[in-house]
Amino acid sequence: MSTSAASTVDASRPPIGAASSPAAAAHKAKPAFGILGALSTSHMVNDMMQSLILAMYPILKGEFSLSFTQIGLITLTYQLTASLLQPLVGVFTDRRPQPYSLPVGMFSTLIGLMLLAVAPSFGVLLLAAAFIGIGSSIFHPESSRIARLASGGQHGFAQSVFQVGGNLGTAIGPLLAAAVIVPFGQRSVAWFGLAVLLGIGLLVQVSRWYSTHHVAAGSSRKAAGASPYPRKVVIGAIAVLLVLIFSKYFYVAGLSSFYTFYVMERFGLSVQSAQLHLFIFLFASAVGTVLGGPIGDRIGRKPVIWVSILGVAPFALLLPHANLFWTTTLTVVIGLVLSSAFSAILVYAQELMPGKVGMVSGLFFGFAFGMGGLGAAVLGIVADRTSIAFVYEAIAYLPLLGVVAAFLPRAVRRT
């Protein structure tokens, strides 16, 4: 391709992951903050229910005499259920939008929560986890699509607002478990159904808004359906992004699923104190999520992706050798930096494949859930055969895979 031709192409389309110019941004519509707020709050409720499962692991382990392998299988069940279904939901709703699928998905979460409260056996615990996973499989692709529709062109910002709700819900779960479930027992989980009912009510309102906007969104999707990259480049870039998702979520699975056991075993903390430390890590992750999207809107997605994955490697390598104070400090830094990645990765992928927002969102949310579930299951087996400390030493090398971000394309080229 000649220099003049390349200039023409680059002038007509900004590079994938690049920040929008101030002039272009000035002409974009304002984000629909009410819808983004409702989506973020619903995301908080959805992910809080998943976090309650994580926070209940010490209780369930004692109540049902579970091994670490069985604990990993619970995580695998709800995350694998979500990972297998999310891409299918995304593809289907790209073709046939389902505005009222969101409250239906949240109702599935409610069923799972009620089963979790009354589960008499390990098998019912797995069934409860599966219902919660099904709810997430419906919630994430459609919510991500609506967040993009409500973004006013500020796609990274909108995804960060949406994501921070989920991260806050994940962070709050351990605190609620320490305050309610530890003193009152497994059946007290049922009280959290009130929060799920609130989420269903919010999603009904979001669905009404979406039902009046998805027709216009479909028209714009068709108009912008061509990727600025050749197919081979798109496939390669998606593969790189999936490697980064694997690195992030396999590492996070080990860090979060076994964090309470790690600090209890190594530093002699109580269950409630260990859950407080888990909250600190998860809250730091929520804060990092807020930063990742807007920074990506300003400086481009690729620098954020690069720094957020590879940048945590030194801290991850130090973590298994730290005392309690530095363990807490390092996990805060890791949470802040690592969590900024997902919004940037997701928006980057959506820009690689315009017009397929649901499929892309389902693929990446599903793959993230799958890697988290697989990581928890595999690392649970490793922990049973070795120790939690060994697991933390082994996963510390995963962020080094962030180096593959160097292979993401920089500028738009057409064949």
Q: Quick check: helix, strand or coil at residue 201? A: helix
For 367, the token pair is 């793959």
- CA dist., res. 208 & res. 210, Å (int): 5
More confident residue, 376 or 114: 114
Sign of the C-alpha dihedral computed for residues 166, 170, 176 and 181 taken in this order:
positive
Delineate the domains of the chain, giving CATH numbers in brackets.
30-407 (1.20.1250.20)
- For 409: left if phi > 0, alpha if psi spans -120 to 50, otherwise beta; the answer is beta
- CA dist., res. 116 & res. 128, Å (int): 5
Q: Summarize pLDDT for 54-80 with one digit per residue, the tens.
A: 778 888 888 888 888 888 888 788 877
Give the H or E element holding residue 107. helix 101-118
Amino acid (1-letter code) at residue 191:
W
Confidence at residue 89, expressed as pLDDT on a 0 to 100 scale:
80
Closest among 243, 240, 242, 252 to 334, alpha carbons compared: 252
Residue 47 C-beta-side C-alpha neighbours within 13 Å: 24
More confident residue, 136 or 24: 136
pLDDT band of 152, cuts 50, 70, 90: confident
Amino acid (1-letter code) at residue 356:
K
More confident residue, 377 or 337: 337
More confident residue, 364 or 322: 322
Give the H or E element holding residue 380. helix 357-385
Tell me what the pLDDT averaged over the chain comes to: 81
